[in-house]
Chain A
Amino acid sequence: MQIEENKNEEFKPCIVAFCCNWCSYAGADLAGSSRLTYPADVKIIRVPCSCRVNPLFILRAFQRGADGVIICGCHPGDCHYTTGNYYARRRMTLLFGMLDYLGIERERTRVEWVSAAEGAKFAATMSDFIDTVTKLGRNRKLRDLRCKE
């Protein structure tokens, strides 16, 4: 069965952002209080630390129809829990390498370090990521067809 996409309607991606509570979530708040706009296609999930992000969550998001997943954490060396983002960095490097290896567009996943002071970077990162994912179009390779479009 071929799913016809409405060509007239502009493609709006669905993007999940995992933000650590101490740096990136605060950075997102700063972007807000500085009134720096970025598209509404990204929704943020607050986690205590980037090391809390399980690969299962990322795959789950793609399964349920996300078109991109971005993970934001404190800059290496600045982790509130001292070492969390170092582990996250290794895990995500390997996981994203594997997704690429399976032929899933690597541009759909990203890790970005955003500090609590980098509201502007947060907004710019989100805009750029949304732009990239919009160009890629809908995620078809890692989607569960039982979940509705």
Chain B
Amino acid sequence: MNNEQLRDEIIRISGTNPSKCMKCGKCSGTCPAYEEMEYHPHQFVSMVQKGDIEPLLESKSIFKCLTCFACVERCPRSVEPGKLVEAVRLMLIRQKGANHFDAEDLPCLVDDDLPQQAVVSAFRKYSK
């Protein structure tokens, strides 16, 4: 897919319209995972708009987003960056072999105190 197709696909999956963004940065101002992310929420919006999707697909940022939806809640323009992050993540994990986790990798990552349910839901979220 070329850049334009990638962008249209992301817009289709997310159901949002990045061209409504007024570049206020409230999403990044609100993001609890900001420091963890290579590309910050407002950059997601701008990069999707430009069709600059490849770097996003390759970045670990998409797995650092907590999907807390604070940015979705607070975005004054209804651009809802969290949904864009989610869409990029979906695009990646829909590609074969691009799972962030494999089942066999899990045990070493699991903390004993981690609730079983969180492990299962994280696995669902990060793999196909």
Touch between chains A and B, by CB atoms below 8 Å: no
